[in-house]
Each structure stands twice: as structure tokens, then as C-alpha cells.
Structure 1
Amino acid sequence: MKDASLDGFLGGRLRLRQSAAGHRSGTEAELLAAATPQHQQGLILDVGAGSGAVGLMAALRAPGAIVGLVEIDPESCALARENVAENALGARATVYQADVLAAKSRRAAGLIDEKAALVLTNPPFHDAGKVRVTPDAAKARAHVASAPLIDWVRACLALLAPGGTFVMIHRADALAECLAAVEGRIGGVSIQPIHTRADAPATRILLAGVKGSKAPLSILKGIVV
């Protein structure tokens, strides 16, 4: 694709084409993908996949799993398909162009509810009206939510099998909203704060839980990046 750069992740094990002007994956994608157990089996879905960074890193971490990259933006889907081919993952990775918020769109793309063993998601972090929105439509879509977070989470959990694991990265100051979105839907919730400095407040959180679990919430040791 024109105006795309080729970047290395995981010490060069993954080569990723990304839009030079649009949303670009980085540390957040690496942290989210690192939540994938190396022994993971079954279907892993990267919801809001962009050019595929999280899902393809997850595929390399868990060689026994298959991966679905779920993305609404056509240009990002095109890049994701290039990245699947670039990394020789065509036998294990599929790109699904779909509006994850719409069940009809998910079904039309070939996604089946309650099939994923693991759902990884980096949803749009910001609410429209609370931030200045970039004129770049694709970049805006990646960063500014078109619907409440609870709707995004419900859609992700619709795709997750009972007993499957959900992992989301989000802003630390949105913790209350994140907990409200998963309340009654997953259990065994863990919160892992992410700090840019050891002496600074967390800027991000990793939230994980199991569909159908009744286990209590836990707060994990923070990560400094």
C-alpha cells in the first residue's frame, strides 16, 4: 500500500506494514499481545485490529492457535492482509472486515458468536465531544469511540466462548467505566496498572477476565514501560 512503512516488532520476528499517516501500533499493542498464553489453543480474536499488530503478535506467541483480525476500516484490512502474507501466517490468520458493534455485520463477515477462546481488544479510548478529532477518518475511528464502551465490550463478549478469556487495554482514568462495562459479564477480573515511570501514576490498565466466572477481582503488580 502507498504511504505505508514496514516496521519490526518482537525483535524483528514480526514485520508490520502500517499507514505512515494513520494510526500506528506500538507499546500498547505489544502489552496486549503479551497477555496471550504461549500454550493458547483455539481461536484468538483481535477486535479493532487495525493493521493486525496485536493478533499477529499473538499468533507468534501461541503457535497452536488460529487468529482472526476484526476491523471495520477497508484500508486497515488491506494492510492486515498484507501483513498476514508478509509474515507467512496465511494458514493461521484471517482478516474479517466487519462492524463489530453490529451482529448482522459480524455474521456477514463470517464471524460466529461464542467461538473465540481468547478476545484481545484495544478499543477507541476517547469519547466524541471530549477530545479534538483529527480530520483523518481512519485515525479518528481508531481513537474516538462511535458508541459507549459497554457496547464495544458486549460485542467482544458475544464472540467469546463460555470459559474464554477477555483482555482489554484502556486508559487508567477510565477504570470505573471499564469495570461497569464488564460487570456481570465476566469474572475473575484482574487489573494490571501500566506506568511510564515507577514514581508516576498509571496511564493505562490491562483488564482481563473469564466469561462465566464468579471469581473475585484482583489487582496485579504494575508494569513500568
Structure 2
Amino acid sequence: MTDGPDAFLGGILHLHQPPRGAHRAGTDAVLLARLFAPAPGDRLCDVGAGTGAVGLACAALHPGTCLTLVERDPALIALARSNATRNGIAAAVIEADVLASAAERRAAGLVPDSFDLVLTNPPFFTPGRHRPSPHPGKATAHDFPEGGLDLWIRTCTAILRPGGRLGLIHRADALPACLDALKGRYGGIAIRPVQAKAEAPAIRVLIAATRGSRAALSLLPPLVLHGSDPNMFTPEAEALHRGAPWPPD
């Protein structure tokens, strides 16, 4: 049973999500959905899509995007299909395990070199290295097996065309692991730290990278989410939550 639909991006999108206590899309999904601006006809894949928040938000903001959502949980797949229909967005929904073998992924419908853009919010934790959520769905969404990040990025790379772009969000302390997973596969890597407050360390990193590029890495200005009031977004963060583009660097 889900709660009523949540208004997302200032009401541009309305999403049914799992009940409170389960994994629900929030600021991470908003920031990832705003990372790229697909052109009409671009093929976009949201890998590990959950209820479809990231891919649907990006498609809602950029009409003409050819959207595919990839998820393994049947309950979340049902919500993703319902959310696409509710918002009038055409989306192919593929049931597939991102960590499965290449043959299994292809059998599920994930064809190599078939997308221009891939967005992904991988699970953040390895079991045994944090306290898992008591909610099974949330624990599954947050946990990876050992070596899972590299396998996850490998799948994203396989389905992305050469020269296509990958966007992901992760914990700030996972940046070395992310760069290791991207090494030899991507260039033109752009990293944007996300800080809860200006004086605080980063809590997230947003990463954009181009498959097969040899361009140099760049570190972008940080996004600060809150000012003196922790319950209020900064103007930049508030604008992004309403569907505005990234402020100029």
C-alpha cells in the first residue's frame, strides 16, 4: 500500500511512492534528474529506477526524451509503470538485475550500446559496514554486495553508446570507489560536491562522465543545500527542486 502521490519538482511530476519508512525519492533524485538536459530523441536509461522518479522527472522536463526504466523489484516496477501513466510519459520498463550476467541482461532487454544517456543512483552501502534499515525494501535499495559498484558501473557502460554520458550520485566518501569504477571506461569526468551547509564537508558527489573520452577531470563548484535554517533550502537548491536548471558555474 502506498501513500497518495507526492508532488515532485514543484508539481511538474506526481509520484506514488512506497509507504514512509521505505526508500523514497527525494533530494538525491532531484539533483540527478537535473544533471543532464536531453535533446528530443535522446535515449535515456534510468538504471535502478525504483519508482521511476529520476527518469520520469528528466523526461517531464525535456519532452521528446526516449525513456527506459530498469528495476528488479516487481513492486517498484508496478509503481514505475503507474507513475509513467499518471504523468503521461511514455517509458519502457525493463525488469532486470543490474548485477546479473551480460547474457541475462540481454535476455531481459538490455541491449549493449543502446543509450545516449544513463542516470543512476546506485545502492550506497556494503552489508556489514553500516547499520541496515529495518525496512526490507529500504535495506535492499541501499545495500550492495562486495564489488557491486564496479559491476553496476560495468552494466551502465555496456548499455551506453560510445561517447554517451553517464550521470550518478553517491556518498562523498565513496568518491575514490566511483573513480576506480570509472577508470579506463570514461573521461571528461565532472564532479560536483553537495554540502548540507557551506561550512560542512560534502555529503554527496554528483558525477558526469563520457564513455571513451580522454578529456581531463574537472571539479565543479559545490551545491550548498541549506543556509542558517536547516529546514530551508538555499535559493539555488530550492530552484532545482522546482525544476529550474543548474545555476551557471
Q: TM-score, normalised by structure 2?
A: 0.86
Question: Quick one: percent identity of the two aligned structures?
Answer: 49
What is the CA distance between 1:147 and its match in structure 2? 4.4
Structure 2 unaligned regions, length at least 5 = 226-249
What is the CA distance between 1:146 and its match in structure 2? 2.7
1:206 corresponds in structure 2 to 206
Larger strand fraction of residues: 1
What is the CA distance between 1:37 and its match in structure 2? 1.0
What is the CA distance between 1:180 and its match in structure 2? 0.5
What is the CA distance between 1:139 and its match in structure 2? 1.4
1:113 aligns with 2:119: no
RMSD value over aligned CA atoms? 1.3
1:143 corresponds in structure 2 to 142
Residues in 1 aligned to 2:145 and 2:63: alpha-carbon distance in whole angstroms: 34
Deviations 1:12-60 (A, max 9, x none): 0100000014210000000000012153632100001000000000111
Give the count of matched residue pairs. 222
2:24 corresponds in structure 1 to 24
1:122 corresponds in structure 2 to 121
Structure 1 unaligned regions, length at least 5 = none
1:195 corresponds in structure 2 to 195
SS in 1 for 2:4: strand
SS in 1 for 2:155: helix
Instruction: Using the TM superposition, name which of 105-114 and 75-84 deviates more.
Output: 105-114
Is contact 1:41–1:117 with CA below 8 Å preserved after alignment? no
Is contact 2:195–2:203 with CA below 8 Å preserved after alignment? yes
What is the CA distance between 1:201 and its match in structure 2? 0.8
Is contact 1:41–1:62 with CA below 8 Å preserved after alignment? no
Residue from 90, 93, 96 that aligns with 2:91:
93
State the structure with bigger RCO (CA 8 A, min sep 6), 1 or 2. Answer: 2
Q: TM-score, normalised by structure 1?
A: 0.95
